[in-house]
């Protein structure tokens, strides 16, 4: 037990974190290009927030939340998703009174869901997400979909599919619910207990159930897009036009209803076709009533969440190679007490000059120190022993070519300039 992480959690060991950093850097660059700023919110919130926003008929709320009473008797829930917190924070910090729209993202945000751990399904996972508040037009939906899409394709992921749908607004959805109830009523006895419970309050949830029997029962169900009101219908038309203008191919998929209650109009998923089956890497949509529902002003919202573990998993499975950065640029091998002190000083000076450098603190043999230098990817090694101390000169040895260049022991700036100029480890 002691050496086993809790079920459904995964470490990112130091040997793997460069992959996360690579993806995170790409995301930061692309979100900055789109004028988004980062938001950070706490890991837990009042349970009430999720009941109100995610919706109490959803799988997330009914089965998956990590909820507990804290020592002050408050019901607390570890965040199962990102949007509710971001909305809460936006309202609490009164950002709605400032320049709108507000465009923000969160990166590698931890989310917790008590799910059956399996391929691509963890109990603690991380999301990159985007939320835009105050932009009601469908062109914004298209921009966000394009951002999510372009991030995945710029990371080299191929074979993804974009599925879009519209789930309308409360007005047109009421008519659709009636049609759905009429469709499901004769089949309900063969469906799961959850679905029976949701039939009255939220029959659209029946389309999202993962039970085999329920999936079968949902085949041929009426489609929301056939029930859209004029406003929702023209929103959907504009979305399709804008996606085409941006060169993003999509499939209209009436099965996409999303797992959370707050969506209106546009919903979408980016799906990877893996050998074990389809896996949703990114999901999102519009939520024009959520901000008001949580206690803010009436304001449009649209966003998406992308699972970081799933994205990395799909990258790996589709053969994307993430370049492994070299740990060090210069390694300073040394022998003898005095030499170690000089190495310590030179190393510190090199780091001040922006060079990634390290020295031996193990007292290993020269041979072992060179081996370590090689493994750490250092392009150069400097050796310091008696002779170098007496002469005040060191040689910067290029590991690959064995070419050596002399420098004064005190000339960290010169060494740094040379190393950087050669651009070996950049």
Contacting positions for ligand ATP (CB under 6 A):
81, 113, 115, 120-122, 125, 127, 259-260, 280-283, 305, 307, 309-310
Question: Which does residue 309 bind out of Mg ion, ligand ATP, none, counting CB within 5 to 8 angstroms by kind?
Answer: ligand ATP
Which partner in Mg ion, ligand ATP, none is near 125 (CB below 5 to 8 A by kind)? ligand ATP
127 makes contact, choosing from ligand ATP, Mg ion, none, with CB < 5 to 8 Å by partner type, with ligand ATP
Per the CB < 8 A criterion, the answer to whether 266 and 235 are in contact is: yes
Closest to Mg ion by CB, 128 or 372: 128
Q: How far is the CB of 328 from Mg ion (least distance, A)?
A: 42
Q: How far is the CB of 65 from Mg ion (least distance, A)?
A: 12
For ligand ATP, which residue has the nearest CB? 307
- H or E stretch at 166: strand 160-166
Chain residues binding Mg ion by CB under 5 A are: 259
Cβ at position 153, least distance to ligand ATP in Å: 16
Pick 217 or 256: Cβ nearer ligand ATP: 256
Nearer to ligand ATP, 317 or 376 (CB): 317
Residue 393's H or E segment, with its range, is strand 393-398
Closest CB to ligand ATP among 272 and 355?
Answer: 272
353 SS3 class: coil
Closest separation between CB of residue 123 and Mg ion, Å?
Answer: 12
Closest distance to ligand ATP from the beta carbon of 256 (Å): 10
Return the number of the residue (253 or 309) whose C-beta is nearest ligand ATP: 309
Residue number, nearest CB to Mg ion? 259
| Helix or strand holding residue 344 (H, E) | helix 337-352
Residue 81: name its binding partner from Mg ion, ligand ATP, none (Cβ under 5 to 8 Å by kind): ligand ATP
Q: Name 408's bridge partners.
A: 393
Q: Smallest distance from the beta carbon of 326 to ligand ATP, in angstroms?
A: 31
Closer Cβ to ligand ATP, 256 or 384, answer by number: 256
User: Contact at 8 Å (CB) between 281 and 310?
Assistant: yes
Closest CB to ligand ATP among residues 45, 388: 45
Over 53-97, what HEC string results?
Answer: HCCCCCHHHHHHCCEEECCCCCEEEECCCCHHHHHHHHHHCCHHH
Yes or no: say if 18 and 325 are a contact pair by the CB < 8 Å rule: yes
The CB-of-386 to ligand ATP minimum distance in angstroms stands at 57
Using CB atoms within 10 Å of the CB of residue 141, give its burial: 0 to 12 exposed, 13 to 18 middle, 19+ buried.
buried
- DSSP annotation of 255 reads T
Distance CA 18, CA 6 (A): 23
Locate all alpha helices (DSSP H) within 134-192, ordered by sequence. Answer: 138-154, 170-184
Q: Quickly count helices (H) and strands (E) in the chain.
A: 15, 16
């Amino acid at each position: 037990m002691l050496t086993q992480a809790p079920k459904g959690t995964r470490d990112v060991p130091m040997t793997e974190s460069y992959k996360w950093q690579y993806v995170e850097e790409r995301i930061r660059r692309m979100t900055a290009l789109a004028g988004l700023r980062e938001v950070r919110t706490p890991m837990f919130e009042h349970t009430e927030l999720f009941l109100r926003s995610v919706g109490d008929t959803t799988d997330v709320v009914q089965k998956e939340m990590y909820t507990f009473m804290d020592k002050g008797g408050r019901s607390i829930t570890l965040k199962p998703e990102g949007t509710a917190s971001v909305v809460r924070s936006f309202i609490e910090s009164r950002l709605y009174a400032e320049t709108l729209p507000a465009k923000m993202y969160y990166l590698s945000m931890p989310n917790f869901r008590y799910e059956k751990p399996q391929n691509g399904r963890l109990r603690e996972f991380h999301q990159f997400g985007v939320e835009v508040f105050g932009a009601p037009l469908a062109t914004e939906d298209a921009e966000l979909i394009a951002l999510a899409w372009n991030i995945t394709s710029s990371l080299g992921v191929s074979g993804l599919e974009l599925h879009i749908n519209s789930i309308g607004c409360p007005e047109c959805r009421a008519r659709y619910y009636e049609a759905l109830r009429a469709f499901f009523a004769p089949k309900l006895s063969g469906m799961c207990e959850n679905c029976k419970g949701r039939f009255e309050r939220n029959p659209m949830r029946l389309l999202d159930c993962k039970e085999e029997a329920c999936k079968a029962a949902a085949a041929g169900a009426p489609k929301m897009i056939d029930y859209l009101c004029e406003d929702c219908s023209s929103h959907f038309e504009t979305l399709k036009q804008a996606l085409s203008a941006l060169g993003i191919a999509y499939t209209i998929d009436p099965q996409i209803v999303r797992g959370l209650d707050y969506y209106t109009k546009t919903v979408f998923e980016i799906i990877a076709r893996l050998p074990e089956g389809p896996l949703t890497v990114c999901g999102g949509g519009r939520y024009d009533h959520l901000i008001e529902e949580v206690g803010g002003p009436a304001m449009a919202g649209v966003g998406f969440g992308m699972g970081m573990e799933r994205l990395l998993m799909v990258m790996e499975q589709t053969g994307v190679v993430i370049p492994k950065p070299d740990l060090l640029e210069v390694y300073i091998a040394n022998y003898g007490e005095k030499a170690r002190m000089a190495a310590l000083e030179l190393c510190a000076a090199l780091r001040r000059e922006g060079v990634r450098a390290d020295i031996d603190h193990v007292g290993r043999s020269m041979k072992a120190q060179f081996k370590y230098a090689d493994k750490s990817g250092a392009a150069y090694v400097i050796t310091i022993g008696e002779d170098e101390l007496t002469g005040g000169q060191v040689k910067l040895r290029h590991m690959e070519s064995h070419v050596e260049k002399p420098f004064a022991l005190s000339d960290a700036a010169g060494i740094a300039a040379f190393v950087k100029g050669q651009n070996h480890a950049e």
